[in-house]
Amino acid sequence: MRVLITGFEPNDEGLNASERVVISLRDNPTESLSQYIHAIDFKIMPGDTYRLGQIVDKTLKAIAPDICIGIGQARGYNRIALERMAKNLRYFTTSDRAGNAPKGELIASNTPVAYWHSLIEQDSLVALLENHDIPARISNDCGTHLCNQVFYHFLHWRETYKADMKVGFVHIPILPEQVIKYWPESPFMPMEMTRQALSLIISRQIQIVEPKYV
């Protein structure tokens, strides 16, 4: 059993909630996640649209995970959002970390317009989080920036190399320190609540794929 969890390096303002939370889970796993930590790889993806696909391919070939969940920051969100699908489109309204801002480019040529996630019982994860007093929802639009792109790369790799890999993407709200420093009017979620939410999602997928862990 191998699990890959990814976040993104900061794209602007020097801070990305997904990087902070992913590193936090790696270095200080929650109690519920600690029993699986030996099976989990945590990676931070580059904020460069023209390097991202190559890095994803290299990472997935090296790890060949059974479960792959990307994490991304969503400024303006007030709850955890589980994404349903990734689309084959790059349309950046803001530049990536490398200064790229494609306007209507395909992520990959001669590939499907979109892919559905492949997590197990994704809709039930909303109830799981809400039962732990964590706001959550299903999202039908992952955007057209790097989050959608990495999600698409994960799902296309699954289609090409490992059809049974469980792939999902989770958007998380920004952190309180980002509200203080950069976006005073934005909703946010405390770090510990976000950590708990991701731990519940990851643990549940592991338990379903490998029942011996229950």
Q: Answer yes or no: 68 catalytic.
A: no
83 is catalytic: yes
Rounded Cα distance, 122 and 82, in Å: 8
Q: Quick one: how far is CA 95 from the chain centroid?
A: 20
Q: How many helices and strands in the chain, by DSSP H and E? A: 7, 10
Nearest to 177 by CA among 165, 163, 189: 189
Q: Would you call 156 a catalytic residue per the annotation?
A: no
Q: Of these residues, 117, 142, 147, 153, which one is catalytic?
A: 147
**Axis crossing angle, helix 17-27 with helix 191-209, rounded to the nearest 10:** 60
Residues in the chain: 214
How far apart are alpha carbons 140 and 164 in whole angstroms?
A: 22
Which backbone phi and psi does 88 adopt, to 5 degrees?
-85, 70
* Active-site annotation holder among 83, 117, 153, 156: 83
Residues 6+ apart with CB under 8 A from 103: 91, 92
Q: Is 101 left (phi over 0), alpha (psi -120 to 50) or beta?
A: beta
The one catalytic residue in 117, 145, 153, 171 is: 171
Query: Which amino acid would we find at residue 70?
Result: G
Antiparallel, parallel or unpaired: β 67-73 and 166-172: parallel
The residues annotated with a catalytic role in the active site are 83, 147, 171
